[in-house]
Amino acid sequence: MVDPEFDAATDQGPREECGVFGVWAPGEDVAKLAYYGLYALQHRGQEAAGIAAADGSQIVVFKDLGLVSQVFDEQTLSSLQGHIAVGHCRYSTTGSTTWENAQPTFAVTDVGSGLALGHNGNLVNTVELAARVAELPGRNGRSKCTTDSDIVTRLLAAKATDAGVEAAALELLPTFEGAFCLVFCDENTLYAARDRHGIRPLVLGRLDRGWVVASETAALDIVGASFVREVEPGELLAIDADGLRSERFAPPEPKGCVFEYVYLARPDTSIAGRGVNAARLEIGRRLAQESPVEADLVIPTPESGTPAAIGYAQASGIPYGQGLVKNAYVGRTFIQPSQTIRQLGIRLKLNPLKDVIRGKRLIVVDDSIVRGNTQRALVRMLREAGALEVHVRIASPPVRWPCFYGIDFASRAELIANAGDVEAVRRSIGADTLGYVSMESLIAASEQPRTRLCTACFSGEYPIPIPTQVGKHVLEGIARGVAGDAEPVTAAGYGGQDALSRP
């Protein structure tokens, strides 16, 4: 399990969001397929994991806080029998890290059928939807959960009582504003839906005896499913004994998250036909052309900076090397670090190879700068290890705006890029030089038209209007009788409504 304080002390970068996985496969061990699918998506959420299994007559849900490998064992998986499974690994973007908020969420219709749901993304009209849930009669109007995912589940279950799940989804999905990739099921049918902007990725795969939907193509690979296509923006899929059905609930307005190419997705994933690793290599090549510097060695901040560092080395002709070793298991423990250990900061996660970097002029390539704490500590550590110069190169433009669509960035006031120009940031982190890739080069590397991408965290151009009541804990605030966090977070707190619409 990730200790939030420990994780914050060692990694000040963007947090991932969530991973979803669904499988319809009669005759297969669907719980184990879901387990390995979630294993491939573990990078998207490390706070909690869960699997729901349906066998035609009932749905069984098992979920807990922790990593996929910590939550499940052979005995647990063997108890999840059926021909449908829905899996989820969570990083909280709405609601605290509690067992109640782990997913899949579950609700029961008034006629007694069940509904289990996993969600990747973030809704922006959560307060309005929460008010609708509060008006529901019976059990669906009461919940200990404080997530937009639970709200969606209860609204669907309430509407499905009269209309059935598929008809309920077609009616309700157009009313959900924001980013959502939903994978859900009743006792007989697997469903998947993607918001009309397609902000988060969702793909469809084929098994010999069934179908798979997942957040990334890498999850299809691990379970032996062949990639069929992406779930389209504004599309609802239903998979049952009659086959696969597709219906539109909204006209598509594609705005895929460009930050998936920078950091969020696995490098062995493809998004919109573009391999993420190839995109990151190209970002590095363009970064070398835009921000050249004389140096002896190019090193990455592992692991997310590695492909861009290789691309930078290729384009610059400067040798590539491994100058930092990453401890892959830091943050994946239930043991709280002592204050002495906590003060070591980044050294808990990265340690320099002194023989490699001593006496060298280094170019250090990282995926992004958020608060700057990681880069500041890294530059200091490399100098202490004997580096003559430290030149920092960033494989994305400056992050100036928070994300309201499923990434847990800092607030505007905490984002170091808003503290001054590039020179001010360079001084703050202590680097000899600092360079970012341009927005134009980032978009070119994705091979997507800018009109089909969400660049809000870099440009401030939000494709979906942001409400005045926002914040990770807005639903907990409502439960306490206030309109948001203890100090309600509003859009104005991020720079004002006018500022949200432009850089």
Neighbours of 270 (CB within 10 A): 19
Nearest to 378 by CA among 297, 300, 264: 300
Helix (H, G, I), strand (E, B) or coil at 329: coil
CA distance 501 to 503: 7
88-99 core/surface letters (b: 16 or more CB in 10 A; e: else): bbbbbbbbeebe
Q: Using alpha carbons only, what angle is made at residue 162 by residues 159 and 164, rounded to the nearest 5 degrees? A: 75
**Residue 366 annotated as binding site:** yes
Is 145 a residue of the active site?
no
Q: Using CA atoms, how far apart are residues 29 and 299, in angstroms rounded to an integer?
A: 43
What is the Rg, in whole angstroms, of the alpha carbon atoms belonging to the chain? 23
Q: Check the annotation: does 89 bind a ligand.
A: no
Q: How far apart are CA 371 and CA 410, in angstroms?
A: 7
Contact 128, 172 (CB under 8 A): no
The one catalytic residue in 18, 89, 145, 181 is 18
Grouping H, G, I as helix, E, B as strand and the rest as coil, residue 370 is coil
304 is in an annotated binding site: yes
145 labeled part of a ligand binding site: no
- Tell me whether residue 181 is annotated as binding: no
DSSP conformation letters of 247-279: EESS-----EETHIIIIIS-TT-EETTEEHHHH
Confirm if 393 and 365 have CB atoms less than 8 A apart.
yes
Cα separation values, 329 from 184, 334, 366, 368, Å: 31, 11, 20, 22
Q: How many helices (H) and strands (E) does the chain have?
A: 19, 23
Task: Determine if residue 36 is left, alpha or beta; phi over 0 gives left, psi from -120 to 50 gives alpha, anything else beta.
Answer: alpha
Residue 127 and residue 118: Cα distance in Å, rounded?
20
Rounded CA-CA distance 486/469 in Å is: 12
Residue 367 marked in a binding site:
yes
The rounded distance, in Å, linking the Cα atoms of 312 and 320 is 9
Closest-CA residue to 300 (of 364, 223, 372, 233): 364
Residues belonging to the binding site for [4Fe-4S] cluster are: 257, 403, 454, 457
Binding site for Mg(2+): which residues? Answer: 304, 366-367
Which residues are known to be catalytic? 18
Q: Binding site: which residues?
A: 257, 304, 366-367, 403, 454, 457
